[in-house]
Amino acid sequence: MLRTTSLLTLASLAFVSCETRSDVEIANEENILIVGNSNEPKGLDPHLVSGVLESNIIRALFEGLCVEDPAKDSSSLPGAAIRWEPSEDFTEWIFHLNPKAKWSDGVPVTAHDFTFSYQRLLSPDPNWPAKYAEMLYFLDNGEAYHRSQFGKIFCKNDPDFPLDWEILKEANFTGDKKIKLDSFADKKFSDLKEAELEKIKPYLKEGETVDLTKLSAEEIKLADLSDPEKRIYLNSIGIDKLDKDQLVFLKTQPDLIDWTDAVPADVRQLVIDRIIAHHEAGKPNLWEKAKVGVTAVDDFTLKLNLRGPVPFLAEITKHYTWYPVPKHVVLSHGEMNTAFSSPWTRPGNIVSNGPFQLKTWRTNHLIEVEKNPHYWDHDTVSLSGIRYIPIKNYYTETRMFGDDQLHLTYTVPSELIPMAKEKYPNELRQEDYVGVRFLRVNTKNSPFDNPKVRRAFALAIDQKSICEKILQGGQKPASGIVPPFGEYEPPGVIHFDPEKAKALLAESGYESTSSFPDIDLLTTNSDSGLREAEALQAMWQENLGIKVRIMQREWTTYLQKQYDKDYDLCVGGWIGDYLDPTTFLEMWVTDGGNNNTGWGSDEFEDLLTKAENTADVPTRMKILSQAERRLLQDTPVLPIYWYTTNYLIRPEVKNWSPLLLNNHPFKFVKIEKP
C-alpha cells in the first residue's frame, strides 16, 4: 500500500514539462498578447452583454463603423466605414462602407448587416434580453420601435394623418408614471396625503372619490370600476400599453383618458382604431412601419437619421452596441432574436468582422483570439493573437505579472498599489477613466426625502481622504456626477465642507442628531466595499454626529435591493459608454432603469431635451452643465470620486496610450521584440 502510494506520487510529480522559459517569453516569440481579463464573460454577442470585460474581447473580434484612435480621445479612424458625412444640422449621417471589409468567413460586410443588427438590438420582444438597446435611441424612432409606442408609430409616420404629431403627442400615450397603483394598497381615499392626492387629482372631477383597494388589486377588471377609477387606471397605463379589450372599451368612452383638448374626437377614434387593428392583426412586427432611422441606401452606403442633432455620433458608433453582427450566421443558428440559446457565438460558429477571430473558448480557463485573415486592414494588425485569462483573484493576477505570465493586468488592488509603485515603477499605469463612484439616496423615505439632509450627507464626505488614504490609485474627489473631459465644464457643486454640512442638517429640522432615524448604508460584500463603507461611516459620525449602519449584501441581493428601493443609502458607480456628459446624466430621468433613487425633476429633463435638440457643441455643453447643476442641487446622488484605471503593463507592449474610456484598439498594439 505504502509503496504503491509513494510510487504513484513520484510518477505524477515526474509528469511535468521542463519548459524553463516564462509564458511571456514564449508569447513574445509567438507574438501573442496575454491579458488578465477579470472573469468569465457572460457571452460574446455584442447585443447581449453589458460589461467591461466582455467589451475587451468583443473589441478585438468586431469592428464598428468607426474605430478608436489608439492615442487620442474623441478622435475616430475609419473602421467598417471608409468615410462619413453628417448633414449640416447633424441629424442625418451617411456612412460609406469599406467594400473590402469582410466577415472572417470571407463574406462582405454590407449595409444590410447594419440594418439587421440595429433591428435586432432594438427588438421590442420581451424575450429579447438586450440590456443596452437604449444606445440606439439616438436613431430616429428607435425608442418608439423598441418600446412599442403605437401612437407614434401609427400616427407620426403617416403623412396623411389628419393631426400634426407635435399636437397629438401631448395625449397620454406612455402612461402617467407618477401614479403608482400598488402604493394605494391598504389605504383609504380619505387618508391620502396632499402630495399623493395631487398626483391623481387631474383625473378626478370636483368631489369625486375612489376606492383605492380596487385600484391596488392584483387583477383589475375594468367593468368593476367607477368612472373616476377607470380614469385613474387607464391614465396610469397610457394609450400605447392598453390591451385590446381595454381599447375596445375606451372607444366607447374615449374621454376616460387624457387626450388634451387640442385632439378632436374623430382623431381620438382614429388613433384607437389603428391600435385595435394592430392587435387584431396579431401584433405583426412593426419594423417597416416604425421607420427607424437606419437605411441601407445600397450595399455599401448606410444612412442614419437621428432623433436630433448628434455632433458626436462617430464617438458613439465605437461602442459595441453599434457593431454589426453577421446576418447570415445569426440566421443560420436561430431566429433574429434567439438570445442566449443561439450557438452562433460559440467557437466554430462565430464569424466576426474585426481584426481578430475567435480561436478557443474554455469556461473559466481562457479565451484566445487569432488574427482574422479576411480583415480589410490586415497589414496594420501586428499581433498574431490575444489570450484573455479570466483571473478573478486580483492578488493572483499581480503575482502572475511578477512571474512573467501576463503582459497586461486587468487592475491592481488598492492595497498592492504602494508595493507596485516601488517594485514596478515603469510598469504601473495610473490613468484617468471616465467613471464616477457615488452614493444613491432613496429620496422616497424620511429623512432623505429632505434635500437638505441629502446635501448635508454629501458635504460631510471627506472625498480627498478616501482617494488618498484608502484607494491610493490617483482617484480624484468628485465635485459632481460627470467626470471632467473635453469641452465639458462640470458645475463643481459638491466639496467637502463639514461646517456647512452641520448647518444644513440643523436647518433641516433634525436638530438633535440622537433623534435622527436609523440609517443603513447598503454595499457589496467585497473587502474594498467594506473599507469604503467604514470610512464613510466614520466621516458621517465625526462630521454630522450620525451613526450609520453598514449593510453588506452579496452582489445579486445588493442589486435587487437597489431596484426595489429597499435601502437608505447605497454605494454605486457608473462608467461612461462614450465621451459625452449625457452618458452620466440620462440615467437620472424619472423612473429611468438605473435611477433607483425615486428622484425626478421636470426641469432637469427639460434641460436634457433642450440639449438633445442643440447642434452647437459649446451651447449644448453649457445646457448639460446646467442640467447637472440642477441634479446636484437636489442631491439624489452623493458623488465620492472620479475613477482612474490602475494596471500593470510590460514595457515591450507598444501603442498602448492612455485613453479616457480605456477602450484600447487591439489592432494597433505591438509587441516589440528585444
Partner 1 sequence: MLRVILSRLLQTIVVVFLLVTFTFFAVRAIPGNPFAAEKATSPEEQAALEAYYGLDKPLPIQYLNYWGNVIQGDFGDSLAMKGRKVSTLISESFPVSLKLGILSLFLGMGIGIPLGIIAALFHNKWQDYSAMVIAMAGICIVAFVLGPIFQLLIAKPLSLLNVAGWNRGSDIILPAITLCFGVAAYLARLTRGGMLDVLSQDYIRTARAKGVPTMQIITKHAMRPALMPAVTFLGPAFAAIITGSFVVENIFLVPGMGQHFVLGITSKDYNLVLGLVLFYGILMGIANLLSDIALIFMDPKLRNS
User: Given the complex with partner 1, which of 260 and 396 has the nearer CB atom?
Assistant: 396
Query: Considering the rule CB under 8 A, would residue 590 count as an interface residue with partner 1?
Result: no
Q: How many CA atoms lie within 13 A of 183 on its CB side?
A: 14
In total, the chain counts a number of residues equal to 674
Cα–Cα distance, 426 to 409 (Å, whole number) = 14
Query: CB–CB of 494/458 below 8 Å?
Result: yes
Q: Which of 220, 339, 615, 617 binds partner 1 (CB under 8 A)?
A: 339
Q: What is the 3-state secondary structure (H, E, C) of 19-61?
A: CCCCHHHHHHHHCEEEEECCCCCCCCCCCCCCCHHHHHHHHHH
Query: Considering the rule CB under 8 A, would residue 219 count as an interface residue with partner 1?
Result: no
Cα–Cα distance, 312 to 580 (Å, whole number) = 8
Kindly tell me the sign of the dihedral angle through the C-alpha atoms of 330, 333, 338, 343: negative
Query: Considering the rule CB under 8 A, would residue 340 count as an interface residue with partner 1?
Result: yes
Q: Which of 57, 179, 212, 389 binds partner 1 (CB under 8 A)?
A: 389
For residue 311, CA distances in Å to 74, 91, 264, 540 come to 12, 8, 38, 43
Q: Compute the least distance from the CB of residue 133 to partner 1, in Å.
A: 10
Strand partners of residue 303: 94, 295
Cα–Cα distance, 479 to 330 (Å, whole number) = 45
Q: Which of 190, 206, 221, 364 binds partner 1 (CB under 8 A)?
A: 364
Region near partner 1 per CB under 8 A, out of 87-95, 194-202, 394-402, 494-502: 394-402
User: Given the complex with partner 1, which of 183 and 396 has the nearer CB atom?
Assistant: 396
Kindly tell me the sign of the dihedral angle through the C-alpha atoms of 308, 309, 310, 314: positive
Cα–Cα distance, 205 to 184 (Å, whole number) = 19
User: Given the complex with partner 1, which of 6 and 75 has the nearer CB atom?
Assistant: 6
Q: Which of 252, 341, 512, 514 binds partner 1 (CB under 8 A)?
A: 341
Q: Compute the least distance from the CB of residue 296 to partner 1, in Å.
A: 29
Query: Considering the rule CB under 8 A, would residue 16 count as an interface residue with partner 1?
Result: yes
Rounded to a whole number of angstroms, the distance between the first and last alpha carbons of the chain is: 53
Q: Which of 162, 418, 517, 593 binds partner 1 (CB under 8 A)?
A: 593
Region near partner 1 per CB under 8 A, out of 360-368, 370-378, 421-429, 455-463: 360-368
Query: Considering the rule CB under 8 A, would residue 281 count as an interface residue with partner 1?
Result: no
Q: Compute the least distance from the CB of residue 540 to partner 1, in Å.
A: 26
Classify 451 as helix, strand or coil: helix
User: Given the complex with partner 1, which of 308 and 592 has the nearer CB atom?
Assistant: 592
Angle between helices 617-634 and 451-459 (to 10 degrees): 100
**Which residues 503-562 are close enough to bind partner 1 by CB under 8 A?**
553-557, 559-560
User: Given the complex with partner 1, which of 174 and 541 has the nearer CB atom?
Assistant: 174
Interface size with partner 1, residues (CB under 8 A): 61
The reply to whether omega before 447 is within 30° of 0 (cis) is yes
**Which residues 97-136 are close enough to bind partner 1 by CB under 8 A?**
126-127, 129, 131-132
Least Cα distance to 169 among 663, 670, 609 occurs for 609
Q: Please count the other Cβ atoms lying within 10 Å of the Cβ belonging to residue 541.
A: 14
Query: Considering the rule CB under 8 A, would residue 399 count as an interface residue with partner 1?
Result: yes
Cα–Cα–Cα angle for 326, 330, 335, rounded to 5 degrees: 140
Query: CB–CB of 422/409 below 8 Å?
Result: no
User: Given the complex with partner 1, which of 48 and 232 has the nearer CB atom?
Assistant: 48
Least Cα distance to 231 among 251, 208, 204 occurs for 204
User: Given the complex with partner 1, which of 109 and 391 has the nearer CB atom?
Assistant: 391
User: Given the complex with partner 1, which of 31 and 594 has the nearer CB atom?
Assistant: 594
Region near partner 1 per CB under 8 A, out of 153-161, 170-178, 347-355, 387-395: 387-395
User: Given the complex with partner 1, which of 27 and 302 has the nearer CB atom?
Assistant: 27
Query: Considering the rule CB under 8 A, would residue 332 count as an interface residue with partner 1?
Result: no
Region near partner 1 per CB under 8 A, out of 61-69, 218-226, 341-349, 622-630: 341-349
User: Given the complex with partner 1, which of 382 and 597 has the nearer CB atom?
Assistant: 597
Query: Considering the rule CB under 8 A, would residue 23 count as an interface residue with partner 1?
Result: yes
For residue 616, CA distances in Å to 526, 530, 611 come to 44, 44, 9
For residue 62, CA distances in Å to 45, 75, 636 come to 10, 19, 38
Query: Considering the rule CB under 8 A, would residue 347 count as an interface residue with partner 1?
Result: no
Q: Which of 56, 321, 342, 582 binds partner 1 (CB under 8 A)?
A: 342
Classify 644 as helix, strand or coil: strand
Q: Which of 177, 418, 563, 618 binds partner 1 (CB under 8 A)?
A: 563
User: Given the complex with partner 1, which of 10 and 538 has the nearer CB atom?
Assistant: 10
Region near partner 1 per CB under 8 A, out of 182-190, 254-262, 337-345, 474-482: 337-345
Pairing of strands 385-389, 301-305: unpaired
Least Cα distance to 536 among 449, 528, 587 occurs for 528
Cα–Cα–Cα angle for 628, 629, 631, rounded to 5 degrees: 60
Query: Considering the rule CB under 8 A, would residue 353 count as an interface residue with partner 1?
Result: no
Q: Which residue has the cell 509503496?
A: 3
User: Given the complex with partner 1, which of 270 and 559 has the nearer CB atom?
Assistant: 559
Query: Considering the rule CB under 8 A, would residue 243 count as an interface residue with partner 1?
Result: no
User: Given the complex with partner 1, which of 19 and 602 has the nearer CB atom?
Assistant: 19
280 contacts: CB under 8 Å, gap ≥ 6: 244
Q: Which of 22, 183, 253, 269 binds partner 1 (CB under 8 A)?
A: 22
Q: Compute the least distance from the CB of residue 363 to partner 1, in Å.
A: 5
Q: Which of 253, 396, 446, 619 binds partner 1 (CB under 8 A)?
A: 396
Q: Which of 295, 465, 594, 626 binds partner 1 (CB under 8 A)?
A: 594
Contacts to partner 1 by CB under 8 A: 1-2, 5-6, 8-9, 12-13, 15-23, 40, 42-43, 48, 50-51, 126-127, 129, 131-132, 339-343, 345, 362-366, 389, 391-393, 395-396, 399-400, 402-403, 405, 553-557, 559-560, 563, 593-594, 596
